[in-house]
Structure 1
């Protein structure tokens, strides 16, 4: 089992049992104590757990950092996902982009193709403004200053006037419970974005798989394609199959084993 698969499984166990010990990790995954400790260190670095003496707990609340702070730490995984997503935007496409940093990685690597981009992200609009062939429709509304997106009834109403070929959506969590995010006002807009597109494409690195956050804005059945960085564990792949969600992985070197 890859470390990424164990990390997802550890978080899943914590969601059910609230705590886990190093000994339990060793028994559940047939690994050494050193490997178990490295897994916990990795999860702590990702702020997914709180380490305790001999084990770990789930944090009581995960605070979402301001957008510009998150941009400073955009991972190589997100960049790979963004590159693959950008390759799916073609000449003449009408595309909706949401406000996530993973979707911005897509915008940054998008070729200067003749297409139309609809977004409520002032960062996405700024990134794309240097590309002469791209037509940008920036949705107006109330500015969420920390996370640099526009929201409110005017954004939702304006979205209802557009019909797009594709929408690219980021998540904080994607699981059996559906697609979830930290802010309700952002989620309401994203729900409308999905309704206005023929194809719904979710961009999520492996740390988001199996997670559930504060506000649910869509069901798994609303998703057509998931792009992630690593091949998910078999139970998650089976969940995607159950809901007819196609899967693309950005890590070409990884093989699809259990």
Structure 2
């Protein structure tokens, strides 16, 4: 049995038991403790489970964990994805960076870079305040305390007047026709920001593809995405949903 096959079974087991110990996994699959530990690390680093002492616990995929819960999962994979996104950052340009735990890591990485950043994310703006540069415009409006972003009609109108070099966008769910958000307000803002950008870059881990969580509002059609940064390679049948021009980058080997 390959690791990928074991991971699928482990996720099914988590749906039933919620908590699994590394020792139990080793015994169940008749593998070494070190191999079971590597399976635990793979699932937790990619945000598909939460690592606890001696094993892992399930993340409820019927709903989207709030920003603070997701930000507390220390994921080296998110850091790798953020570093890949950083390659598309260039001085003296104007970029939009949306709410996302991965994109918050990107903001940490670009402190000190001479460029203009527009965001509606409270955490992105706090990260970018660590140094004098880049220059930051935080869009105003009503604060969504759970997801930690601002929204207002005035912000939508302002976005219509700005031209971005790149829009960096996160998502809670990727379906066969587009990326989706849990909030209509978030979806509307991302839709306008991406339409004003020369290049649209989406960051999304593989588990978000056809996830069963409640994300009903489409933000961007897949054929409008220029670059997708993910963790693991996507199945060929899903890659066909993107434009042939879309660059799909996986930061991990399968």
Q: Check whether TM > 0.5.
A: yes
Which moves more between the two structures, 163-172 or 210-219? Answer: 210-219
- 1:156 corresponds to which residue? 156
Alpha-carbon separation, structure 2, partners of 1:5 and 1:125: 40
Alignment of 1:34 with 2:32, yes or no, is no
> How do residues 188-227 of structure 1 correspond to structure 2 at under 5 angstroms?
188-211=188-211, 213-227=215-229
How far off is 1:4 after superposition? Answer: 4.9
**2:246 equivalent in structure 1:** 245
Change (3 A) 1:81 1:157: same
Deviations 1:178-223 (A, max 9, x none): 1111111111111111111110000011211233632212211111
Deviation at 1:172, TM superposition (A): 1.1
Superposed displacement of residue 103, structure 1:
1.1
Cα displacement (A) at 1:122 = 1.1
| Cα separation, partners in 2 of 1:74 and 1:170, compared to 1, 3 Å | farther
Equivalent pair of 2:111/2:128 in contact (CA under 8 Å): no
SS in 2 for 1:114: coil
Establish whether residue 165 from structure 1 lines up as the match of residue 160 from structure 2: no
Tell me the distance in 2 between the aligned counterparts of 1:62 and 1:231: 24
Matched positions, count: 223
Distance 1:106 1:250 in 2: 15
- Residues 64 and 172 of structure 2 are in contact (CA less than 8 Å); yes or no, is this contact kept in structure 1? no
Say whether the 8 Å CA contact 1:210–1:236 is kept in structure 2: no
Distance in structure 2 (CA, Å) of the matches to 1:182 and 1:8: 25
Unmatched tracts of structure 1, length 5 or more: 15-19, 21-32, 48-58
* Cα displacement (A) at 1:69: 2.0
Q: Give, in whole Å, the separation in 2 of the partners of 1:228 and 1:174.
A: 11
Partner of 1:125 in structure 2? 125
List 4+ stretches of structure 1 deviating above 4 A.
1-11
Equivalent position SS for 1:202: strand
Aligned residue in 1 for 2:55 = none
Counterpart residue number, 1:93 = 93
- What displacement does 1:5 show? 7.8
Report the TM-score when normalising by structure 1: 0.74
Counterparts of 1:79 and 1:181, CA distance in 2: 22
RMSD between aligned residues? 3.4
Which SS does the other structure have where 2:179 is aligned?
Answer: strand
Confirm or deny: 8 A CA contact 2:206 2:234 kept in the other structure. yes
Pairwise CA distance, 1:3: 4.3
Q: Counterpart of 1:239 in 2: which secondary structure?
A: coil
TM-score by length of 2: 0.75
- Alignment gaps of 5+ in structure 2: 16-27, 31-35, 50-59
* Structure 1 contact 224–245 (Cα < 8 Å) conserved: yes
For residue 52 of structure 2, what is the aligned residue in structure 1?
none
**Matches of residues 51-90 of structure 1 in structure 2 within 5 Å?**
62-90=62-90
Q: Secondary structure at 2:143's aligned position in 1?
A: strand
Shift of 1:176: 1.0
